[in-house]
Amino acid sequence: MLSCVLSSLIAGFLSCVVMFLGWVLSKRTIGDREKNSPFECGFDPVKSARLPFSLRFFLLAIIFLIFDVEIVLLFPILASMSSGYDFFLVTGVFSFLVILVLGLFHEWNEGSLSWAQ
């Protein structure tokens, strides 16, 4: 118990020392024109670096991440099914998959999955 507390204190102290040294030794450039400009292979930028982001692409990426995380959540369930089938496990998996498919159909009907609009 004591060694765990001592190692936590040492780790916290060392991280504070490293952060303080980084702050003290850093080179502070507030108004540097070169650092604030976008980098395009040494040339002046052709377009503005502050273009509006496509909301359609953002929504599609978020939907992909949600379904990807839900698929990752299914892997432990499959591992626990190898030891035997339980009624609560099967009903939980079935309800999870029904919610997943209903969400997919909702996104499809809403038009979030069609890219060309």
pLDDT tens-digit map of 6-31: 999 999 999 999 999 988 888 766 66
| Tokens coding 16 | 């504070």
Measured distance CA(51)–CA(21) in Å, rounded: 37
pLDDT band at 40 (very low <50, low <70, confident <90, very high): low
76-108 pLDDT, tens per residue? 887 887 777 788 888 888 898 898 889 888 888
What is the pTM assigned to this prediction?
0.46
State the alpha helices, DSSP H only, in 1-117.
2-25, 33-36, 55-81, 87-110
pLDDT: is 117 or 56 the higher one? 56
| Tokens coding 21 | 């040294």
Question: What pLDDT shows up at residue 18?
Answer: 95
Every domain of the chain and the residues it spans: 2-36, 55-110
**CB 59, CB 112: distance < 8 Å:** yes
